[in-house]
């Protein structure tokens, strides 16, 4: 076995590297992958071949990644949903153990958006209205069981109000529905609403981070915690590899992606997408997966999401 690993590591990589994106073209995941693609040849020594495998809230792509040969030629883009999906029930692979994190690229906090002409100026205004008009407010999110959906359900529970959830296929669809007043609240990523906030069509009532956003567009938005609610909705993007990747190849990949993510031009391009660069290496990413797994387990147990997902599968 060792005889095979050493020459592979010394010549690696000698062909393009496939990057599986478990979501569709044009979304935040895909745009991030295209950014990585621009710098890959320089820092990895070979180009990235982007393969979109949408479906199952990321599970179709992660299934393919989990079963791939651990030779360094198949990588996958990951998000916090990789930790969430196994919490809702059996998946083909248990992704947190079938995969190894390689690097974390960026982080973002989920935001709660409403139309600017709504009378609610803060969470208390909205909560008061929701209690006076039960079941009249709908919230949109990017899919059953996503971090956006979980954040919305956690908010409703913490505020002791009834909200109707409406799932969509993408953040863009959620925002279109919000602008059309088909839903009154949207739980989305900052990138999905940034331009509409800047144009004055939408306003943000709360952000799901531990701290306020460093992005000037959102820096005045208070967190849920500042407004008295224990609601956290954080997301991240990273890259994972199939279990069993030789350490020499893993090290080469980690070093290459570290150079890409820490490149000033990459950081600027990332910020234009509404994302913040937040590099973590493989060891730090492992700790992040464990910590987030514990926190997400508590969040899921505090909602009725597992029952909802079971009913959807029947």
CATH assignment of the domain containing 91 = 3.40.190.150
The four Cα atoms 202, 169, 17, 77 give a dihedral, to 10 degrees, of 60
In a domain, 267, yes or no: yes
In a domain, 140, yes or no: yes
Question: Do both 91 and 127 map to the same domain?
Answer: no
In a domain, 306, yes or no: no
Q: What is the mean pLDDT of residues 153-182?
A: 92
Give helix 247-261 / helix 264-272 axis angle, nearest 10°: 70
In a domain, 32, yes or no: yes
In a domain, 208, yes or no: yes
- What CATH code is carried by the domain that includes residue 216? 3.40.190.10
Question: Do both 141 and 240 map to the same domain?
Answer: no
218 φ, ψ to 5°?
A: -120, 5
In this predicted model, what pLDDT tens digit does every residue of 191-230 receive, in sequence order?
A: 889 889 999 999 999 999 999 998 889 999 999 999 999 9
Residues 261 and 254: beta-carbon distance below 8 Å: no
Question: Do both 48 and 123 map to the same domain?
Answer: no
pTM of the model: 0.85
Residue 49 pairs in a beta bridge with 18
Beta strands in 22-85 (DSSP E): 48-52, 74-79
Per-residue pLDDT band at 8 (split at 50, 70, 90)? low
* Alpha helical stretches, state H, 12-46: 28-44
Q: What is the mean pLDDT of residues 232-251?
A: 95
Question: Do both 48 and 80 map to the same domain?
Answer: yes
- Report the pLDDT value the prediction gives residue 314, as an integer from 0 to 100: 54
Report the percent of the chain where pLDDT is more than 70.
96
Query: Shortest CA distance to 73 belongs to which of 63, 61, 65?
Result: 65
Which of 232, 258, 273 is the last residue before a domain boundary?
232
Question: Do both 154 and 225 map to the same domain?
Answer: yes
Q: What is the length of the chain?
A: 314
Say if residue 5's pLDDT is above 70.
no
Range of the domain at 64: 2-106+236-301
Mean pLDDT of the chain: 91
Question: Do both 89 and 151 map to the same domain?
Answer: no
Which range is least confidently modeled, 10-19, 25-34, 214-223? 25-34
- Report the pLDDT value the prediction gives residue 313, as an integer from 0 to 100: 61
Helix H, strand E, coil C: the string for 229-267 is CCCCCEEEEEEEEECCCCHHHHHHHHHHHHHHHCCHHHH
Q: What is the mean pLDDT of residues 257-276?
A: 91
In this predicted model, what pLDDT tens digit does every residue of 280-292 receive, in sequence order?
A: 999 999 999 999 9
Which of 232, 249, 269 is the last residue before a domain boundary?
232
Question: Do both 274 and 219 map to the same domain?
Answer: no
Question: Do both 290 and 254 map to the same domain?
Answer: yes
Question: Do both 288 and 205 map to the same domain?
Answer: no
Domain count, the chain: 2
- Report the pLDDT value the prediction gives residue 312, as an integer from 0 to 100: 66
Give the C-alpha separation, 179 to 186, whole Å.
10
Question: Do both 84 and 165 map to the same domain?
Answer: no
Say if residue 260's pLDDT is above 50.
yes
- Report the pLDDT value the prediction gives residue 51, as an integer from 0 to 100: 95
In this predicted model, what pLDDT tens digit does every residue of 170-189 receive, in sequence order?
A: 788 899 999 999 999 999 98
In a domain, 310, yes or no: no
Query: Shortest CA distance to 214 belongs to which of 289, 104, 103, 106?
Result: 106
Per-residue pLDDT band at 71 (split at 50, 70, 90)? very high
Residues 169 and 175: beta-carbon distance below 8 Å: no
Say if residue 27's pLDDT is above 90.
no
In a domain, 313, yes or no: no
Give the C-alpha separation, 22 to 76, whole Å.
8
For residue 269, give both structure tokens.
């391009």
Q: What is the mean pLDDT of residues 297-310?
A: 86
Q: What is the mean pLDDT of residues 88-102?
A: 94
In this predicted model, what pLDDT tens digit does every residue of 100-151 receive, in sequence order?
A: 999 999 988 999 999 999 999 999 999 999 999 988 999 999 888 889 999 9
Question: Do both 192 and 289 map to the same domain?
Answer: no
Question: Do both 296 and 252 map to the same domain?
Answer: yes
In a domain, 212, yes or no: yes
């Amino acid at each position: 076995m060792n005889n095979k690993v050493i020459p592979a590591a010394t010549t690696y990589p000698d062909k393009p590297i496939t990057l599986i994106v478990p979501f569709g073209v044009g979304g935040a995941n895909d745009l991030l992958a295209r950014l990585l693609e621009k710098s890959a040849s320089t820092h990895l020594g070979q180009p990235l071949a982007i393969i979109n495998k949408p479906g199952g809230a990321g599970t179709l792509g992660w299934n393919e990644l989990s079963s791939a040969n651990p030779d360094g030629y198949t990588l996958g883009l990951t998000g916090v949903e990789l930790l969430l999906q196994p919490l809702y029930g059996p998946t083909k692979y248990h992704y947190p153990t079938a995969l190894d994190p390689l690097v974390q690229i960026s982080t973002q906090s989920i935001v709660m958006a409403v139309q600017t002409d709504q009378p609610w100026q803060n969470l208390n205004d909205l909560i008061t209205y929701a209690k006076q008009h039960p079941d009249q407010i709908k919230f949109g999110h990017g899919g059953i069981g996503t971090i956006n959906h979980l954040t919305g359900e956690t908010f409703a529970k913490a505020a002791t109000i009834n909200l109707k959830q409406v799932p969509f296929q993408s953040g863009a669809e959620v925002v279109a529905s919000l602008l059309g007043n088909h839903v009154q609240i949207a739980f989305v990523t900052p990138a999905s609403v940034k331009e509409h906030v800047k144009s004055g069509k939408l306003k943000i009532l709360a952000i799901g981070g531990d701290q306020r956003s460093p992005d000037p567009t959102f820096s005045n938005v208070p967190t849920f915690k500042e407004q008295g609610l224990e609601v956290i909705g954080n997301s991240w993007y990273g890259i994972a590899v199939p279990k069993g990747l030789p350490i020499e190849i893993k090290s080469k990949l980690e070093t290459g992606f570290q150079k890409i993510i820490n490149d000033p031009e990459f950081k600027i391009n990332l910020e234009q997408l509404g994302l913040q660069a937040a590099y973590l290496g493989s060891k730090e990413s492992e700790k992040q997966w464990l910590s987030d797994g514990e926190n997400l387990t508590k969040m899921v147990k505090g909602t009725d999401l597992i029952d909802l997902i079971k009913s959807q599968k029947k």
